[in-house]
Amino acid sequence: MWQYRPVFALSERRRTSTTVRLAPGVRVRDSIAYVPRRDHFFALDPAHLRALRQVRAGRPGGAAETRALAELGICETDPDTPRRAFFGRSVVGQLDTLPEITAPLVVNCFATAYCPLRCLYCHADDLMAGYREQENEAWFARVLRAAAATPAMVGVVTGGEPLARVERAERLIARLAETGKAVVLDTSGVGDFSRLVPTLRRHQVHVRVSLDSADPAGNDALRPANRQHLPPGTSSAVYAEDAIRRAVRADVPCSVQTVVTARNSQLAALLALRDRLVGLGVTTWVLHVVVPVGKAARPNRAALLAPAGVQDVLDDLVRRTAAEGVAIDIRLTSTHRAPNSTLLISAKGELAVENVADGGKSLFALPRIGVRGAVLKHFRAHVDLAGHAGRYLNGSQAPWAEAIGATLPRA
């Protein structure tokens, strides 16, 4: 079905690396590997999984398989193997189907329900409006307990805007890291990003900044400032680009996520944003097609939903990026095809899954004892497990196996 074909010279094919090891921070569960610097999951076919197991055991794997793993950042070699952009690939080798998922790959945890922006499509509005004024320490203790107990490979610190309550973000990052999870910070960049940099570096956090357009005015129209928290004239685009620059300068792994709507789904607009990100030093770009949940479910936001042909546009975006050899990874989530594919912990410490029929979320209170079991029960009963796998393994995206992956800047 999907195939990864490593590209290297014959002389390199014959070379045996003197040292091969798992790359720092990489998490492995069964046949799935997560690379924190790229914020990306990969599903390994039997040959590449066997090679990875040999590497972890301190033995050399197959030369071609090992090089493929190194190009993706799953392992590293000495002499060094350059990382390459993979243009939508998430399956390494050849698999007929994605792996079956019985435990969450990712859990999204609210540090706060406060947010300085009023994004028109806000996915989490229903988990913010009724929560923010009541936030208290008892609620946050539940968030920390649920986040620690959820057996996910990756914990995402989100909200709301984590920078609106930096001290909570710091504590949540530390708790997730203590329990062995890779940590991602979702942020608009609006707030004191610099204060959080030491914590991000200490816990090797990947930062994912939200930016929807290369045109600041277009971005600000989709992601306007909340006048209750920010002065008139505040630009979310300016804050986002500043956070990106600060992260890149501090060597904090950084990617950008874009919500694709009717306003920014034109190929020219997406190509312009791609080129802007490359110029800022971003090497990973995640695109989500807007879904009718939260604010986007309101009748007056129907015109915001992406057009029917959006998948063709996204396919063309990835195809052109591959053909042009642009040094950026692209991940397309399949949220619009399987809307109830995410797992969230609300600012109150509840478990939340998407309920598209009602345009919101289904909420489940978690017990004080047996949290892990309760999370797994609700995850398996209420989350689209195939959709969950597809969301994080590019289930919506075909690969371009013939394309030569551009070499990425070395971190």
Give residue 52's identity as a one-letter amino acid code. L
CA angle (253 as vertex; 291, 279 as ends), nearest 5? 80
Give the separation between CA 191 and CA 196, rounded to whole angstroms: 10
Give the separation between CA 251 and CA 206, rounded to whole angstroms: 10
Nearest by Cα to 146 from 352, 342, 290, 327: 352
Give the separation between CA 166 and CA 161, rounded to whole angstroms: 9
149 CB neighbour count, 10 Å cutoff? 18
Decide if 186 contacts 208 (C-beta within 8 A).
yes
- 360-364 and 351-355 beta bridge pairing: antiparallel
Q: Before 6, cis peptide (omega within 30)?
A: no
Both tokens of residue 121? 């499509």
Give residue 178's identity as a one-letter amino acid code. E
Task: List per-residue pLDDT tens for the chain, 411 residues long.
Answer: 334 444 443 344 444 445 899 999 999 999 999 999 999 999 999 999 999 999 999 887 888 999 999 999 999 998 888 888 876 678 888 888 889 999 999 999 999 999 999 999 998 888 888 788 899 999 999 999 999 999 999 999 999 999 999 999 999 999 999 999 999 999 999 999 999 999 999 999 999 999 999 999 999 999 999 888 788 889 999 999 999 999 999 999 999 999 999 999 999 999 999 999 999 999 999 999 998 877 888 899 999 999 999 989 998 998 899 888 898 988 888 665 666 788 999 999 999 988 766 667 889 999 999 999 999 999 999 999 988 988 888 765 554 444 445 556 654
Angle of helix 310-324 versus helix 267-280 axis, rounded to 10 = 40
Cα–Cα distances in Å, from 15 out to 83, 111, 284, 342, 404?
17, 48, 29, 43, 20
| Number of helices followed by number of strands (H, E) in the chain | 12, 18
According to DSSP, the residues that pair with 404 across neighbouring strands are none
